[in-house]
Amino acid sequence: MSDTPSPALPELSELQAHLEQVSQEMIALIRAYDLDATSPFDVIPVAREKITKPEDYVRFLELSLEGRIYGEAAAAVMEAQKVS
């Protein structure tokens, strides 16, 4: 086992600010490419079909992943705050 302490979770306000930034950038891509998926399961196929610039498609995927990671971190912080 390592003696290195686990890194502390960021403050909830930091996570929320980053999620807001991710959301704004994602909304811009959704509007620019008229992404109109009707189901969460259709988001990636619709993006793959409609986003014409490879760098925008990669950024869309990055934002999707970042949103998930930061969303889960925010949920963990909120849960930890309930416990303490």
What is the extent of the structural domain holding 76?
Answer: 12-83
Question: Is residue 79 included in any domain, yes or no?
Answer: yes
Helices and strands (H and E) in the chain: how many? 3, 0
Residue with tokens 């990671």: 69
Report pLDDT digits (tens) over 22-64. 999 999 999 999 999 889 899 999 999 999 999 999 999 999 9
The full length of the chain comes to 84
Those residues whose C-beta lies under 8 Å from the C-beta of residue 67, and which sit 6 or more positions away, are 19, 22, 23, 26
SS3 48: helix
78 neighbors 12 (Cβ within 8 angstroms): yes
Task: Quickly state the pLDDT bin for 82 (edges 50, 70, 90).
Answer: confident
- Global confidence as pTM: 0.81
* Distance between CA atoms of residues 66 and 63, nearest Å: 5
Question: Is residue 19 included in any domain, yes or no?
Answer: yes
Question: Is residue 75 included in any domain, yes or no?
Answer: yes
Question: Is residue 53 included in any domain, yes or no?
Answer: yes
